[in-house]
Amino acid sequence: MTAAGAQRARGAASIETMLEGKSICICAGSGGVGKTTTSAAIAAGMAARGKRVAVLTIDPAKRLADSLGLPELGNTERRVDPALFTEAGIDPGDGELWAMMLDAKATFDEVVRKHAPDEETRERILENRIYRQISNALAGSQEYMAMEKLFEIHSEGRYDLLILDTPPSRNALDFLDAPRRLTQFIEGRSLQLFIRPTGLGMRVLGRGTSVIFSVLKRVTGMDLIEDLSEFFNAMSGMVGGFRERAKRVNELLADPASTFLVVCGPAGEPINEAVYFRRKLREAELPFGGVIVNKVHTDGAGDAGRGGPADVGSLERLLGARDLATRVAANYEDYRALAERDAANIAKLGRQMRASAVIEVPYLSEDVHDLGGLFAINAHLFGGDPGPTGT
Amino acid sequence: MRPITDLFDKRILFVTGKGGVGKTTVALALGVAAAAAGRRTIVCEVAAQESASRIFGKAEIGFHEVELRENLSAISIDPDHSIREYLELQLPVKAMGDLLYRSKIFNYLAAATPGLAEMVTIGKIWELALDERKARRGKPYDLVIVDAPATGHGLGLMQTPKTFAEIARVGPMAHQAATINKTITNHRKAGAILIALPEEMPVNETATLEAELIDSIGIAIDRIYMNAVYPQRFSAAELERIAAAQDDAMDAQAMALAAALDQAKRAAGHAEQLERLRELARTDVAELPFLFAPELGVEELDELAGMAAE
């Protein structure tokens, strides 16, 4: 980074400020913006500052494990070897870094075991084909289970800070809506009445409904209805437990000790999405911490391109070849164009929220896949302060 | 590598990969290339991003087959419209479909039935590729290119017919699910194209996704594109001269030299990842260059289409 770049970074927003007094940090954002890496970097950075930190991720591609140099992560937290910190030149003091890769299916099973009134109900649910399908695949179940696990680990109180890397989704907002959708599904009140084959519901709902019912049978096949019926009947004793739990999870997320960070890329669309997401958080009365803009293009020297074009004549004198000078100048123009676009988008974002809420991370020229790489990101996330033992 | 026109002879091509790798862009570029090769092509957006309309400067496309240029159409498929159309096609009496669609209970059931949204979505994709279209006023297409959702959800979409056939077991939907599964796993008729980025984690994820698609669904993987690869713009000797000139350079010239060295470093990293992917993947890997264009327009898409078809 140039002196000017470092100067700007020092005066800029810092994750540490954003997370002051927070015990839960939720990183949201659409797929492919570097959410997992950012979550891991924040966790490592806070651990390096003496905190006991756990980072939770859902990730079939084991990305977090990759970025922490762990061969695999199970459905329980595992501590990242402190020797890795030493190797990266960091002394974490009392700080600890734990990581967990969430297995949504296993978590769902745990929840069922916890809430089932008796063994028979438990087995009926776990064996039900509809259950097996939703616990794996229903949109929202991963998100719901992520929150469930977050809640559970938070209640145990073993960490100063929990960081949740939200499941990959097309749209950052899916995450907020998911628990509601899943609880609604599990409650299945109107449907329960309706599909209980010999229940009171059929008679009460009357003839119009039986037409719908027969058409549905025709479209979906009878067995599906029976499975659904069986599922809702088995789940009915647990609905209260789920609802109560969901309410408490929501309270936890809305607590002032929780914060949401939005991770996005520097192009126009992701920036608009970040603005939209903040508005939605505000509407839902959830605490917003800030935006991290990842992979920001710079002009090659670590600065956003605000200077003028290079002079081909001067470059020719330096390099001794016209052709090379022209190509170097053209490459620089490409860099400047992207840097200018990103700078304009970020300025637009800055106008929507206070400056201390926006953190820029440049598009680093090296791929991040170990603790050292995470600390390279932290130089930007933590406002130019590399940590207690950095140089 | 198999010539791209071989792939264009299929009826359905799914384009998928990790989030943020440029699936939509490559799907559209392939659509442009297939149309140029004379195939009546439709690109289906499944994730409701409306990128095609933005790039081609059209109004929102929605659940309509909209012509973008000669031989090239687009549609944005959403579960709501797909369910409605499905009911219309399944039920002999239109009023019955309407009754069902408007009923609260049906909508509840539709939302609650695992995989139904994916099922009707892939059902619509399959319908678009039929010789005899079922949809009213439906035009025939030679090729349906699907801009599929990212890894997990994309896999889910392609897996749904198989799962659904097993869950529903009997009834028209189970039957249709089995038919669709047969079509998408028929290597002459359908296949998938994976998009990767030249970075460590996307490369790993691409290899995993490839294995899952082949082993658990049985879909053909026809090609992998490594997208947004930085070209190597300077030779080793030139880079030495650039590095040597740095001490004497000032201002914009110094920045230009730094940018050149940065570019070279990234290009070298990308070449390494390309090699890794070629080692990890079973399928041929083609390259698409990073486009230094601030905004993607029709011009860039045409450029990319030319390169994707090579």
Backbone angles phi, psi at B274, to 5 degrees: -60, -45
Judged by a CB distance cut-off of 8 A, whether residue B19 touches chain A is yes
Q: What is the pLDDT of residues A133-158, one digit of tens each?
A: 677 655 567 777 888 889 999 999 99
CA-based nearest distance A82→chain B, Å: 24
Backbone phi, then psi, for A81, in 5-degree steps? -50, 120
B106 touches chain A (CB under 8 A): yes
Q: Which of B20, B105, B208 sits opposite A32 (nearest CB)?
A: B20
pTM metric for this prediction: 0.85
- For residue A321, the chain B residues in CB contact (below 8 A) are 241
Q: Is B210 on the interface with A (CB under 8 A)?
A: no
Is pLDDT at A284 greater than 80 in this prediction? yes
Q: Which of A1, A211, A220, A226 to mutate to test the interface with B (most CBs of B within 10 A)?
A: A220
- Single out the residue of A292, A290, A294 nearest to residue A357, CA to CA: A290
Asked if A36 contacts A64 with a C-beta cutoff of 8 angstroms, the reply is yes
Nearest residue on chain A to B261, judged by CA atoms? A300
Is B232 an interface residue toward A (CB < 8 Å)?
Answer: no
C-alpha B13, offset from chain centre? 8
The residue count of chain A comes to: 391
Nearest to A332 among B103, B150, B256 (CB): B256
**Contact status, residue B221 vs residue B192, Cβ threshold 8 Å:** yes
What is the residue type of B158? M
A383 with A9: CB under 8 angstroms?
A: yes
Helix (H) / strand (E) containing A295: strand A288-296
pLDDT of amino acid A275:
87
CB of A102 closer than 8 Å to CB of A110: no
Closest residue in B to A33 (Cα–Cα): B20
State whether CATH 3.30.420.10 applies to domain B4-231+283-308: no
Nearest-Cα distance to chain A for B137, in Å, is: 23
Section A157-163 average pLDDT: 96
Any bridge partners for residue A110, and if so which?
A: none
Judged against a pLDDT cut of 50, whether residue A6 lies above it is answered with no
Question: Would you give the distance in Å from CA A307 to the centre of its chain?
Answer: 35
Could you tell me how far CA B63 lies from the centroid of its own chain?
18
For residues B5 and A315, the model is more confident at A315
> Which own/partner contact pairs does A189-192 have at CB distance under 8 Å and 24+ positions apart?
A190/B104, A190/B105, A190/B108, A191/A228, A191/A232, A191/B105, A191/B108, A191/B109, A191/B112, A192/A232, A192/A233, A192/A236
Give per-residue pLDDT as tens, A256-273.
999 999 999 998 878 888
What is the structure's pLDDT at A213? Answer: 63
Q: How far apart are CA B208 and CA A148, in angstroms?
A: 28
Q: Which of B113, B153, B255 sits opposite A310 (nearest CB)?
A: B255
Q: Is B268 on the interface with A (CB under 8 A)?
A: no
Paired with A162 in beta bridges are A24, A54
pLDDT bin (cut points 50, 70, 90) of residue A390 is very low
A75 vs A48, higher pLDDT = A48
Closest residue by Cα to residue A305 from A266, A254, A259: A266
A138: contact with B, CB 8 A cutoff: yes
| Interface touch A221/B262, C-beta < 8 Å | no
Q: Which of B149, B156, B167 comes nearest A224 by C-beta?
A: B167
Name the band, by pLDDT with cuts 50, 70 and 90, for residue A97.
Answer: very high
Its sign, for the CA torsion A115, A121, A124, A128, is negative
Asked if A324's CB is within 8 angstroms of B241's CB, the reply is yes
Contact A133 B167 (CB under 8 A): yes
The C-alpha angle A165, B280, B261, rounded to 5 degrees, equals 75
Chain A within 8 Å of B261 (Cβ-Cβ)?
yes
Chain B CB contacts of A185 below 8 Å: 111-112
Residue B207 confidence (pLDDT): 94
Cβ-proximal residues to A315 (8 Å cutoff; 6+ apart), any chain: A325, A328, A329, B253, B256, B257
Q: Check whether A345 has a pLDDT greater than 60.
A: yes
Give the DSSP H or E segment for A204.
helix A200-205
What value of ipTM does the predicted structure carry? 0.87
Q: Which of B49, B99, B109, B169 has the highest number of chain A CBs within 10 A, making it the mutation to test binding with A?
A: B109
Instruction: Give the nearest partner residue to A133 out of B86, B87, B114, using CB atoms.
Output: B114
Q: How far is B6 from chain A (nearest CA, A)?
A: 31
Burial of A330 (0-12, 13-18, 19+ CB in 10 A): middle
Determine the pLDDT at residue A331. Answer: 95
State the Cα–Cα distance between residues A21 and B291, nearest whole angstrom.
Answer: 43
Of B96, B169, B242, the CB nearest to A215: B96
Look at residue A389 in the predicted model and tell me its pLDDT: 45
Per the CB < 8 A criterion, the answer to whether B167 and A137 are in contact is no
Three-state SS letters, A69-95: CCCCCCCCCEECCHHHHHHCCCCCCCC
Chain B nearest-CA distance from A94, in A, is 31
Q: Which residue has the higher pLDDT, A35 or A242?
A: A35
Q: Does A222 touch chain B (CB under 8 A)?
A: yes
Q: Which of residues 231-250 of A touch B (CB under 8 A)?
A: none
pLDDT profile of chain B (310 residues), mean per 10 = 90 92 93 97 83 78 91 92 83 72 69 75 95 89 94 84 78 85 96 94 90 94 96 96 94 92 94 96 96 88 92
Q: Which residue of B has its CA nearest to A298?
A: B259
From chain B, the residues in CB contact with A222 under 8 A are 170-171
In a mutational test of the A interface, the residue from B53, B82, B247, B255 whose CB has the highest number of chain A CBs within 10 Å is: B255
Hunting for tokens 């794996």 — which residue is that?
A136
Q: Using CA atoms, how far apart are residues B13 and B189, in angstroms rounded to an integer? A: 9
Domain ranges of chain B: 4-231+283-308
Provide the β-strand partners of residue A78. Answer: A99
Please write down the HEC assignment for all residues of chain B.
CCCHHHHHCCCEEEEEECCCCCHHHHHHHHHHHHHHCCCCEEEEECCCCCHHHHHCCCCCCCCCCEEEECCEEEEECCHHHHHHHHHHHHCCCHHHHHHHHHCHHHHHHHHHCCCHHHHHHHHHHHHHCCCCCCCCCCCCCCEEEEECCCHHHHHHHHHHHHHHHHHHCCHHHHHHHHHHHHHHCCCCCEEEEEEECCCHHHHHHHHHHHHHHHHHHCCCEEEEEEEEECCCCCCHHHHHHHHHHHHHCCHHHHHHHHHHHHHHHHHHHHHHHHHHHHHHCCCCEEEEECCCCCCCCHHHHHHHHHHHCC
**Percent residues over pLDDT 90 in chain A:** 30
Going by C-alpha positions, the residue among B215, B195, B218 that lies closest to residue B205 is B195
List, as ranges, residues 179-208 from B with C-beta within 8 Å of A: 199-201, 204-205, 208
Q: What are phi and psi of A103, to 5 degrees?
A: -105, 105
User: Taking CB atoms and an 8 Å cut-off, how many pairs form between chains A and B?
Assistant: 219
What pLDDT, on a 0 to 100 scale, did the predictor assign at position A303? 57
With CB atoms and an 8 Å threshold, state whether A32 touches B150: yes
pLDDT greater at residue A190 or residue B55? B55
Q: How far is B107 from chain A (nearest CA, A)?
A: 10
- Sorted by sequence, the CB contacts under 8 Å of residue A255 that are 6+ apart come out as A24, A287
pLDDT-derived band at A230, boundaries 50, 70, 90: confident
State the pLDDT confidence band at A190, using cuts at 50, 70 and 90. low
The residues in A 144-173 lying below 8 A from B, measured between CB atoms, are 168, 170
Contact A221 B19 (CB under 8 A): no
* Structure letter (DSSP) for residue A356: G
* Neighbouring-strand partners of residue B146: B14, B44
- Structure-token pair, residue A51: 């905190």
- Whether A320 and chain B come into contact, CB under 8 Å, resolves to yes
Which residue among A32, A195, A329 places its CB closest to the CB of B21? A32
Q: What's chain A's average pLDDT?
A: 79
Q: Which one of B91, B252, B260 has the shortest CB-CB distance to A331?
A: B260
Are B176 and A222 within 8 A, CB to CB? no
Residue B255 sits at the chain A interface (C-beta within 8 Å):
yes
A126 touches chain B (CB under 8 A): no
Who wins on pLDDT, B6 or A12?
B6
Q: How far is A48 from chain B (nearest CA, A)?
A: 24
The answer to whether B216 faces chain A, any CB pair under 8 Å, is no
pLDDT for residue B111 = 65
Q: In this structure, what token pair is assigned to residue B257?
A: 């030299």
CATH code of the domain occupying A3-106+140-181+257-381? 3.40.50.300
